[in-house]
Amino acid sequence: MNAASIDRTLLGLIAHTQTITENFQSAFGGLSTESFNWKPGPDRWSVGQCIEHLVTTNEAYFPTLEAISAGTHSTPLCGYIPFMTGWWGSTLIGWVDPANRKKSVTPSTFQPSSSNIEPKILASFADQQIRFISCLKTLEGKNLKDIVIASPAAGFITLTLDDALTLIVLHNQRHFDQATLVTKTEGFPAL
């Protein structure tokens, strides 16, 4: 899956989320703590760090998603500049597109910890994905291109909800691919 092939309908995003969750559990559920925390190099992330980063980043979207579901969300001030909202959406989707192999800079608030991460974070990720799917289901009937939100990374960055949801799903896939590469790197400890 990449930005060009993703099904951006709610049903498509739900299906992608279910698949990526199953893929994470299948690929990394049996790893030992040592394997989960093994890093291919000092400036590269472990499988655990990839997952912890996703949990931290995805969690930051829930207050906005819940406000939209409750009908209490209001468009951020910067969201009234339509060309900027569209530009940010396209740019961020391009950055997290799994087809884009360039390393990107992670905001400090979303950096994973440098200490050992318990493999149980995988269960937290799976639970969070169930919550995300529940939020997606509450959006049925809403025009996702008309709802504008602020990015949790920086309030001046605004996205349509359509772009934000696509961004979340592609970001999950990108880090699944990254974590999978870690397990295929020479020196990765056997189970």
Instruction: List the domain range (segments joined by +) for residue 153.
Output: 10-183
Q: How far apart are CA 183 and CA 157, in angstroms?
A: 34
The pTM for the full model equals 0.92
Task: List beta partners, residue 149.
Answer: 159
Query: Looking at the domain assignment, is residue 131 inside a domain?
Result: yes
Give the least confident one: 3-17, 27-41, 170-184: 3-17
CB 139 within 8 A of CB 68: yes
Digit-coded pLDDT (tens) for 80-136: 887 888 899 898 888 888 887 887 777 677 777 777 888 999 999 999 999 999 999
Q: How far apart are CA 118 and CA 141, in angstroms?
A: 39
Query: Looking at the domain assignment, is residue 2 inside a domain?
Result: no
User: In CATH, what number is assigned to the domain containing residue 102?
Assistant: 1.20.120.450
The total number of structural domains that make up the chain: 1
Query: Looking at the domain assignment, is residue 4 inside a domain?
Result: no
So what's the pLDDT on residue 31?
93
